[in-house]
Amino acid sequence: MVAVAATGVTLVATAAPAAADGCYTWKSKLRKGSRGAAVTQLQIRVAGYPGYNSNLAIDGVYGDRTVAAVKRFQSAYGLASDGIAGTQTFNKIYALQDNDCTPIHFTYAEMNKCNSSWAGGQVSASKAKSNMLRLMWQLEALRHALGDRRLRVSSGFRSLACNPNESDSYSRHPYGQAADFIGTPSFCQIVRQARYHGFEEILGPGYPGHSDHAHVGNDTRKTWSSSQCF
Ligand SMILES: [Zn+2]
């Protein structure tokens, strides 16, 4: 679609997106040194590209680590890898997201089979849901890296009522910060690849209680991942 500028409007060097996106539309190019909510929105979408055994802070500051994450995102989708988020990068993100801001291959419903309110976990409902949005973008990156193969989610957010056996406080499921997978790709394929996509908690066969699924989670208090599946 061709954007038509109103008479008298000064066009900036950055071309505007071709069309408004149902979730979020960036208004201008972002680069190292940019700050604010637009950067935060970008960081959520590239959180799955921090590099090996690393993670990306969602802090609204476009620093070197965000530059590197944007470069990896661009490379993953065959775009020019300059670390600057402009029209091509934004258009790829628009193509990858649904109107509710979730990545196209994952839904809130499949990430929460306990309730539709996201209440009853270890954090507020809105926090659990926003935690999960970030995790889902990491999962989209993981899925893409595994050859765009479907990932079968057996469990995501779990309210405490939904999961009475989980009386401990360390599980990230009641925070909306974890997901379990069954089926294919194999658990070890998921575990090995997950180390590149910003999860601190990666558990698979060999870890107690994880012989029948793979688990990935976000917990920035930790700096480790599993010792399995090397
Ligand atoms: Zn789990």
- Distance separating alpha carbons of residues 16 and 46, to the nearest angstrom: 20
Ligand 1 centroid–CA 209 distance in Å is 9
Give 216's strand partners. 179, 202
Domain 106-230 listed as CATH 3.30.1380.10: yes
Which tens digit of pLDDT belongs to each residue from 105-144? Answer: 999 999 999 999 999 999 999 999 999 999 999 999 999 9
Ligand 1 centroid–CA 164 distance in Å is 14
Share of the chain above pLDDT 90, in %: 79
Q: Would you call 159 exposed, middle or buried from its count of C-beta atoms within 10 A (0-12, 13-18, 19+)?
A: buried
- Distance separating alpha carbons of residues 153 and 140, to the nearest angstrom: 12
As assigned by CATH, the class of the 15-101 domain is mainly alpha
Ligand 1 centroid–CA 178 distance in Å is 6
Note if the pTM is more than 0.75: yes
Q: Would you call 7 exposed, middle or buried from its count of C-beta atoms within 10 A (0-12, 13-18, 19+)?
A: exposed
**Residue 9's pLDDT band (cuts 50, 70, 90):** very low
Active site residues: 210
Give 35's strand partners. 61
Size of the chain in residues: 230
